[in-house]
Amino acid sequence: MIVGIDLGTTNSLVAYFTEDGPKIIPNRLGKHLTPSVVSVDAAGTVYVGETAKERMSLYPESVAETFKRSMGTERTYQLSGHSFKPEELSSFVLRFLKEDAEAFLGEEVTEAVISVPAYFDDKRRKATKRAGELAGLKVERMISEPTAAAVAYGLYDKTQDTRFLVFDLGGGTFDVSILELYHNILEVRAVAGDNYLGGGDFAQEMAKLFLKKAGMQLSDLNEKEQVRLENAAERAKREINEQATVTMGFLYHEEVKEVQITAKEYEEACEELLGKIREPVKKSLADAKLKLSDIDEILLIGGATRLSIVRDFLIRLFRKFPDTKLNPDETVALGAAVQAAMKERREEVKEVILTDVCSFTLGTEVVVEYDEGKFEDGRFCPIIERNTVIPASRTERLYTVRDNQTSVRVRVLQGESRFARNNLYLGELEIEVPKGLKGQESVDVTYTYDINSLLEVEVKVVSTGISKKMIIKGDVNHMTEEEIAKRMEELAYLKIQPRDYEENRLVLLRAERMYEESLGERRQKLDHYITKFEAALKKEDHDEIQTTREELNTFLSESDDLETR
């Protein structure tokens, strides 16, 4: 079976297709959302999801989150003396989801459709594919998150032509996509976005507002207190959706520091973030050559679209109410599962042709003449422009710029800057040309880009007909199958605890975190319940473990309620 996976910045999900449509697979804790958080302790034990998130308050130096934002980069994360790339951390999350899917379905899962932000460039997409391979998954296809959302909303089943805008504001990335459905073709018309804008940024604004009102600086807080501030800000961000004022507080220097924040103050603090939302919307409409009035439906996906200040802003911006019939956290995973069913050619799924666009312009570096006899090198020449429907093939003729020039080098670049140095380097190809006066010899450079993000570059000398070709597969930071297998072996020394231990481990970590954050009588009571539970675990008495765990959980929940009042 092929599963669909939403590998998110904040949370990840896995889904599969049934006779009744796509369904989310619950994780080992019985929940749909698995936090995209990884922790590694000194003994090499890997924690993923909620247990890793709980460890952040206790051992912040051993935890990594929002690593999706660094996919495709050379950044490394140091966790308890172990070094990991972003795709390796993502592979732990994917392996965790894979195990949950196998336990739920009762069969081995080796293939997946994984969603990626529409605005992910070539490097980030290939890093995502490597993460899947490191997790032991064959990545059948990567589907853009907005396209997956459109499929999940059932638009592939509509009979009339529809133009719609998908607004995707997740935990760490933001995409706007305009899609059009006609007959059985779902075409992406334009994409725009920001890989560094999401719900986490709105929580940060709440934290900044707290510090400002409390007369504090972030540098006043130690690592653990900073994590407590982040957690309190996340809670306050959600609570302010339902009420005009929230009381935000956390334990600081052994006393609870509290501040009242109004919804109006919070909205004013988020004005700059809301302003960042506007530009990609305008850009996508302009690239699609459409006006807002041409859009039939607006779909909201991503957990951050639940924020009332975001929804109110969007209603004012779009001058219409968006469609919110599906859970914005789950929509992408459900759509990925539908795409997986299409790959399996399931009869229950109406076949739909999904087209995509080139998210970033593909071009090459050239020398330009800006005045008679005066030249400037390092300029960018677009060949396939952003938001061109793919597969696509485009040709640009380039000329020699020096007398007796013997070769032409084509540097393959991706990006939007006028200057080559500011764009992403993908590879290069060099071809010999006959000697002659400048401008006498020329080459035709043809780029062909397909749905699987493979770019074929052909350079043909016009005078001789000699040509060279290459396939750009993202050789920078690219791993061969042998290298992937070797790295999988290297990561095998890490210990991933059995699924059955997860609930007990989570309760203990949560209790330990709350013990550190408690004072006085509540701390003493908590110590009592933790001691009872640990004694039951040592005895390995299943019934006693369950009873003491429920007692501890009840006390923790009551304490959490007190904290958030």
Label residue 63 left, alpha or beta by phi (over 0 means left) and psi (-120 to 50 means alpha).
beta
- Count CA atoms closer than 13 A to 494's CA, side-chain side: 25
Q: What is the rounded CA–CA span in Å between residue 52 and residue 443?
A: 55
Q: Which helix (H) or strand (E) holds 485?
A: helix 481-491
Catalytic residue among 88, 121, 140, 168: 168
- Rounded to whole angstroms, how far apart are CA atoms 339 and 194? 25
Do 494 and 44 meet the contact criterion of CB atoms below 8 Å apart? yes
Q: Which of 6, 87, 201, 230 is catalytic?
A: 6
Q: Look up 68 and say whether it is catalytic.
A: yes
Tokens of 299: 């779909």
Question: Hey, what amino acid is at 379?
Answer: R
Angle in degrees, CA 147, 150, 156, rounded to 5: 105
Catalytic residue selected from 50, 54, 65, 68: 68
Q: Which residue in the list 145, 180, 297, 502 is annotated as catalytic?
A: 145
Q: Is there a catalytic annotation at residue 145?
A: yes
How many residues are there in the chain? 565
Mind spelling out the 3-state secondary structure of 280-329? HHHHHHHHHCCCHHHCCEEEEECHHHHCHHHHHHHHHHHCCCCECCCCCC
Handedness of CA 349, 355, 359, 360 (dihedral sign): positive
Give the phi and the psi of residue 56 in degrees, each rounded to 5. Answer: -60, -40
* 168 belongs to the catalytic site: yes
In Å, what is the CA distance from 123 to each residue of 140, 213, 373? 18, 41, 38
Just list the catalytic residues: 6, 68, 145, 168
